[in-house]
Structure 1
Amino acid sequence: MRFFDSNVIYGVHPFKPSQFCVPNIVSLKEHLRDACIDYALVRRYEQLQGGVILGNKQIAEDIKDTENLWGMWSIVPHLTNEIASPADICSEMREKRIAAWQLCPQSHGFPFHYRVLYDYLFLAQAVAIPIFVKVPGEVASVDMLNVLDNFPDLAFIISLSDVWPADRFIRPVLQQFPNCKLEISNYLIDGAIEEIVECFGPTRLIFGSGFAESHFGGQMLAIKHAAIDEASKDLIASGNMLNLIKGIKYDI
């Protein structure tokens, strides 16, 4: 079984230490190798706390010579000219191995409303860019639903900001928005993986560990020992994320 970790963060946090000291890409590669992680979608603390321009540039520089790592860029309203415009961003993403966006309106100081990010959301829906959102830490659930009401085909990957059960929110979203998926780093309910697979199929879950704030092994173990068939385990462990990347239409 191959593992694609979709939730990996490293770098230097200015306010609090993470559970593991992973200041740079060299250290991260060592941790990934030791944990038998085959692929990873990575981001840096600097993209949240050090500024979008610097952080996005750093992540692209870190992964430029890799074959098993992809980067995630922070997206903010483009009229401040901090990131590439919607017209230019796809070509830059393809060149720099960027395979997803993260939306962090709480950290970056803008309202999470479809009008504020309209051009990027329109693009992401058209070219199938995965968008990671942390609920409710960065994005309120009602605001996410507002965006999905206007862009129902977005590929939102929902990360939970704590371990409290969120199924009363998650399951209606999965039912009504077929391109939304759940990243499972904080989805720690006994039997929940099995129930989601039974209700919605194995393509709606994405493996993520939350490293360096959590260890890789917890959710790797949960997938390996889930009471589901091996093909479903393979999809959750790596196949779903690889398929999302293959589906990005960079040339549109």
Structure 2
Amino acid sequence: MPGRRPPSNRAAVPEEFAMPRFAANLSLMFNEVEFMARFERAAHAGFAGVEFLFPYAWAADDIAGALEAHRLTQVLFNAPPGDWDGGERGLAALPGREAEFRAGLDDVLRYAERLDCRRVHVMAGNVADLAAAEAMHATYLDNLAHAADRFAAYGITALIEPINSRDMPHYFLTRQAAAHEIVAEVGADNIAVQMDFYHAQIMDGDIWTTFRAGRDNIGHIQIAGVPERNEPDDGELNYPWLFERLDAAGYNGWVGCEYIPRDDTESGLGWFAPWRRR
């Protein structure tokens, strides 16, 4: 058993990195090349960190080698989601799937330790019908408490993310306020909200006020243009203003770039120039 690390949502910021710190999402960005080649592309583009959905199709040693070779930090990945190709979007809130969810945490911890990753997104799953919502809520709390307890010894924070009902019509968790209520109900020090500004704008709006209201429980931010989920240089949100506000407010967590490039990834990185790794 490794020594206990105190959970932290705000890691120290290396002096050579501008703020905010941006992580390329390798599940959506740099898709011009195969997955293992994307680490080099991200580092060459100036990113200090990377995130992706699921690492489990690749050997942990191979991913760790790519991170080390290109001096990248693994910021985030997701816990096993169930049958993703079959439409499942997580297991944490699904009654009757507790054993599968908890067994999947063994893989999470194995990858997290090898990749030195301290944040894991735990997806809730889809709501079968309204009558199931109450039972799902109780299952969600129990599974999140279990995950937080297992993660604590490794210094890992469990993240929960509200996802908009347009992109995932049946997802269990859709609102920022609901996510913060769940964090309070679980009551663990190492559970936090993953606030994706794209999802939050669609469901809640008033992004900066929403961020400030929940800041103490926000462990990770993600971005994309609204409404098309492309680069954060067009659409409803004024991202340069938001980045400046995050910097001024002292947010020194990571900002994950979970967007779908309009064309090839590199040609769309003009927005990133002021915040490149120096």
CA contact (8 A) 1:8 1:42 kept: yes
Deviation of 1:100 after TM superposition, in Å, equals 5.0
1:194 alignment partner in structure 2: 209
Picking from 123, 141, 145, the partner of 1:134 is: 123
1:8 alignment partner in structure 2: 25
Alignment of 1:99-118 (within 5 A): 100=76, 102-107=78-83, 111-113=97-99, 115-117=102-104
Q: Distance in 1 between matches of 2:178 and 2:213?
A: 17
CA 1:215 to 1:112, structure 2 compared with 1: closer, same or farther past 3 Å?
Answer: farther
2:84 corresponds to 1:64: no
Q: Which residue identity lines up with residue 123 of structure 2 in the other structure?
A: K
CA 1:221 to 1:237, structure 2 compared with 1: closer, same or farther past 3 Å?
Answer: farther
1:180 alignment partner in structure 2: 191
CA contact (8 A) 1:3 1:39 kept: no
2:52 corresponds to 1:43: yes
User: 3-state SS of the aligned residue for 2:200?
Assistant: coil
Deviation of 1:172 after TM superposition, in Å, equals 0.5
Q: Which residue identity lines up with residue 19 of structure 2 in the other structure?
A: R
Q: Which residue identity lines up with residue 32 of structure 2 in the other structure?
A: V
CA 1:229 to 1:223, structure 2 compared with 1: closer, same or farther past 3 Å?
Answer: same
Q: Distance in 2 between matches of 1:7 and 1:236?
A: 14
2:33 corresponds to 1:23: yes
Describe the superposition over 1:115-134 as per-residue Cα deviations: whole angstroms up to 9, x where unpaired.
Answer: 5357678998xx99422223
User: 3-state SS of the aligned residue for 1:54?
Assistant: coil
Q: Distance in 2 between matches of 1:163 and 1:215?
A: 18
CA contact (8 A) 1:183 1:208 kept: yes
TM-score normalised over the length of structure 1 = 0.52
How many positions carry a matched residue from both structures? 191
Deviation of 1:224 after TM superposition, in Å, equals 3.6
Deviation of 1:65 after TM superposition, in Å, equals 0.4
Percent identity between matched residues is 8
Q: Distance in 2 between matches of 1:58 and 1:107?
A: 24
Larger Rg: 2
2:245 corresponds to 1:232: no
State which drifts further: 150-159 or 224-233.
224-233
CA 1:137 to 1:228, structure 2 compared with 1: closer, same or farther past 3 Å?
Answer: farther
Deviation of 1:207 after TM superposition, in Å, equals 2.2
Q: Which residue identity lines up with residue 232 of structure 1 in the other structure?
A: A
Q: Which residue identity lines up with residue 174 of structure 1 in the other structure?
A: V
Residue ranges of structure 1 left out of the alignment (5+ in a row): 11-17, 72-98, 239-252
